Amino acid sequence: DIQMTQSPSSLSASVGDRVTITCRASQSISRYLNWYQQKPGEAPKLLIYAASTLQTGVPSRFSGSGSGTDFTLTISSLQSEDFAAYYCQQSFRDILTFGGGTTVEIK
């Protein structure tokens, strides 16, 4: 199975900060990498698919990049509603896997 490793596992940031989260795959997955946001008590929400395509309705401050094994989710200017957990997920194989998650907390 393909293992997905996210870093950091948590970070503290302030409103307006630029935030970067990294996801690494155990083997090349081309651009089959997706990002989700999850707030406490809520279901996950799809943010980005195919490494860099923004899901409909997602603010443009979110962006994704990468290919192969290394991927990045960037929030250009953190807003109060962005404090949440973020997960990457590979869809290269039918056996899907998620990263361990990154919690973005208020500094």
Partner 1 sequence: EVQLLESGGGLVQPGGSLRLSCAASGFAFSSYAMTWVRQAPGKGLEWVSSITGSGDKTYHADSVEGRFTISRENSKNTLYLQMNSLRAEDTAVYYCAKGHSFCTSTSCYFDFWGQGTLVTVSS
Tell whether omega for the bond before 8 is within 30 degrees of 0, i.e. cis: yes
DSSP state of 77: S
Interface with partner 1 (CB under 8 A): 1, 32, 34, 36, 38, 43-46, 49, 55, 85, 87, 89, 91-101
Q: Which is nearer to partner 1, 81 or 94 (CB)?
A: 94
Q: Which is nearer to partner 1, 83 or 92 (CB)?
A: 92
Report the C-alpha gap between 60 and 22 in whole angstroms.
18
Q: Which is nearer to partner 1, 15 or 50 (CB)?
A: 50
Entry field: residues in the chain: 107
CB of 57 vs partner 1, minimal distance in Å: 10
User: Which residue from 82, 77, 88, 87 is spatially nearest to 106, judged by alpha carbons?
Assistant: 82
CB of 65 vs partner 1, minimal distance in Å: 17
CB of 106 vs partner 1, minimal distance in Å: 19
What would you report as the CA-atom Rg of the chain, rounded to the nearest whole angstrom?
13
